[in-house]
Structure formats: C-alpha cells, structure tokens
Amino acid sequence: MNLLNMAPDRSLGVLADFADRNGLDSYRTDQIHRWLWRRPVDSWSDASNIPAGTAEILNAEFALPRLELVSRQESSDGTTKFLWGLHDGERVESVLIPEGRRRTLCISSQVGCAFGCVFCATGTMGLIRNLDPWEIAGQVRELLVQGAARPSNIVFMGMGEPLHNWESVDTALSIFNARLGFGIGARSITVSTVGLVPRLADLAARPEQFGLAISLHAPTTAKRRRLLPVERKYPIPDLLKALQQFKRRVTFEYVMIDGVNDLDEDARDLAEIARPLGAMVNLIPLHPGGAADYSGSSTSRRRDFAKILTSFGVKAIVRRSRGLDIAAACGQLRVSLERDGHIGAE
C-alpha cells in the first residue's frame, strides 16, 4: 500500500491500524507517520526512532516510492530547475524560485497538458498522463529527503492543468497544507488554472483559503479564443460567474504579447473585469517556447499597461523573468531536452 498517495489523516488511520495489528504502543503511530512528510526518509530503515524489526515490516508493507532526480540546473539568479524521472520513464519538472525570505516551488500536476494554449511549451506536448498524489507531493518530499529546506510557498504553475487532475490535486493540497503533512499555510499555496468552470466549484468547496490564480491572458472572449482554446468551452462570462464562489481574492495571470493583448483598450477592458472582483493582475513576460511565434511586450509597454490598470483602481504587478538562462518557464526543460534528443524514446 502506498501511504504517500493518501491525505495525511488517512495514512495516519492506516498506520494506527498497523500499530494495532503488530502490537505496537499507540504513540508509535505518530512516530512512524512523521517520516512520511514531516521528516521524510528514503527507507523506513533510515527512521532513527523505529526499531529495526518494525522497520523491516514497514518496508515490506509500505514501500516509499521516489522520484528520480534526472537533472538539476541552477540559474545565475538562484532559480533552480529540477527534472524528475517517473516510474514509467516520463518526466516532469519543478522550479524553485528564491526571493528574499521566500522559497517558492513551482510544481507540476500532469505530464503534458490537454489545453494547448498557443504560447505554452507544455501545451505543445498534449496530455500524456495525470500525476498521482504522491508524484505531485513527491516534488517537495524529494527536496526534503535530499536535505534542502522546506519551500515556504507552493504554486501549481509547472506542467499541466491542476483542475484537470482534480482528484490527485485535491489529495496533494491536503498533504501540502495539513499539520501532519508539510504544514504549509493555505494562503501560501496557489492553484493556477486556465479556468475549468465545473472544477472551480470543487476547489471553492474546500474550507482552506488556498490561493487562486486564473490564467486570463486576454480580457475579451474574441481575443482569448485566439490564445486559449479552452475559451470556447468555458468563456469569460461563465468564468467570472464561477469566481463569485470564492470568498478570497483572485489573481489574474496575464502574459504580455506584443501587439496582441497589450493595447490600451485591453488594459481598460481588463480593468473592467478585475475591479468588481477586487482581483489583482500579474503581468508576466512572455517566455519563448510555445507553438505560436509571438514576441513579448517591451518592459516599458508592460509598465504603461500596469499604469492604466492602476489608474482604474486595479492592483497590477509587473513580474520579472526568473531563470530565463535555464529556460525555467512552463514545461521548457522537458521540451528543450527532447529537442536535443536526450529523452523521449525510452
């Protein structure tokens, strides 16, 4: 049985039953559980306070599967990209972005993605498969097993569409947030989504105040359709209605593309959507790598766009590019390695 695939309260229950069956004192349950997420180990035999005989039974009953670290690249700005190998030979990435006292880990939820946004490298792969909960949470667990500090923030902005793999993401959110898991505050965990309207209700139904980022990228249905095919299924008016279920503040992600979505009128249309929701706008530089041959807006254009939003009372943040020298944008490591022929036909 894979304890790493369960929400922490459930794995605690399984271990309580295990302790019972094996005649262990009940305090052992929490002691054993601690080695799953709070102080992760490679094997039960490495758990210092568990007797060797118990560790042997644990190893036989509850294997602790690992992700394989295929490569680790550190950018000159400290951004570090991890490429993980999965058991079936697939690959996903995470990116660690240090910023002051924050250590934000950008994680993947799927291998590839079904939504084909035209500027996104992951989108060119199509959906290969969903990640299991342990493969999502494993992206943090591996860092801890290797002795790194716990990330302070988690963002679902790596490969994949988290709400398209809701069942796994639902469990992974519990693992990240629970006191018996990694204990990362809900407000420090952000789900980024292209806006799958029916699944937004599932996220809204969770009592924790997880952060929500909506990949909007265009302020009108006509413009968004050109960039995000999902707009045909879940158009902006339906999306805005679904966002009213959230009591918390929403962030709009907005990749700035020269001459496509960065006009003055786009800023005004965007303000009209964002203001009633009290949403904040993240203006993101376009990274190379998608299917369409677009160029990013200039820095001055991004600043002017932000100024228009601000003048309408909408908070806007102009993001810097992080890790560009190692191609740390969405899905790029995987795609660039495939081009070089290092991975692919395994």
Rule CB under 6 A: which residues touch ligand SF4? 113, 115-117, 120, 122-123, 160-161, 194, 215, 330
What amino acid is encoded at 159 in this protein? M
Q: Name which of ligand SAH, ligand SF4, none residue 116 binds, using a CB cut-off of 5 to 8 Å depending on partner kind.
A: ligand SF4
Cα–Cα distance for residue pair 227/236, rounded to 1 Å: 13
Which is nearest to 117 in space by CA: 218, 259, 239? 218
Contact 214, 251 (CB under 8 A): yes
Closer residue to ligand SAH, CB minimum distance, 106 or 143 = 106
Q: CB of 109: closest distance to ligand SF4 in angstroms? A: 9
For residues 240 to 279, the per-residue mask of contacts with ligand SAH, x marking binding by CB under 6 A and - elsewhere, is -------------x-x------------------------
286 touching ligand SAH, by CB under 6 A = yes
Closer residue to ligand SF4, CB minimum distance, 151 or 160 = 160
Closer residue to ligand SAH, CB minimum distance, 39 or 102 = 102
The one catalytic residue among 106, 113, 117, 330: 330
Q: Name which of ligand SF4, ligand SAH, none residue 251 binds, using a CB cut-off of 5 to 8 Å depending on partner kind.
A: none
SS3 at position 253:
strand
The one catalytic residue among 93, 135, 142, 231: 93
Residues between 156 and 175 that touch ligand SAH (CB under 6 A):
156-157, 161
Phi, psi values for residue 193, rounded to 5°: -140, 150
192 touching ligand SAH, by CB under 6 A = yes
Radius of gyration of the chain (CA): 21
SS3 at position 194:
coil
Q: CB of 94: closest distance to ligand SF4 in angstroms? A: 14
SS3 at position 334:
helix
309 touching ligand SAH, by CB under 6 A = no
Closer residue to ligand SF4, CB minimum distance, 180 or 231 = 231
User: Among all chains, which residue has been given the structure tokens 């376009």?
Assistant: 286
289 touching ligand SAH, by CB under 6 A = yes
Instruction: For residue 71, give every residue at least 6 positions away whose Cβ sits within 8 Å of its Cβ, in sequence order, or none.
Output: 82, 83, 333, 337
Cα–Cα distance for residue pair 12/32, rounded to 1 Å: 9
Contact 295, 85 (CB under 8 A): no
Phi, psi values for residue 233, rounded to 5°: -85, -45
SS3 at position 76:
coil
Count how many residues are written for the chain. 346
Q: State yes or no: is 330 an active-site residue.
A: yes
Q: What angle do CA 343, 97, 332 make, to 5 degrees?
A: 30
Q: CB of 120: closest distance to ligand SF4 in angstroms? A: 3
190 touching ligand SAH, by CB under 6 A = no
Q: Name which of ligand SAH, ligand SF4, none residue 170 binds, using a CB cut-off of 5 to 8 Å depending on partner kind.
A: none
Q: CB of 156: closest distance to ligand SAH in angstroms? A: 6
Q: Name which of ligand SF4, ligand SAH, none residue 287 binds, using a CB cut-off of 5 to 8 Å depending on partner kind.
A: ligand SAH
What amino acid is encoded at 158 in this protein? G
Residue count, binding to ligand SAH (CB under 6 A): 20
**Residues belonging to the active site:** 93, 330
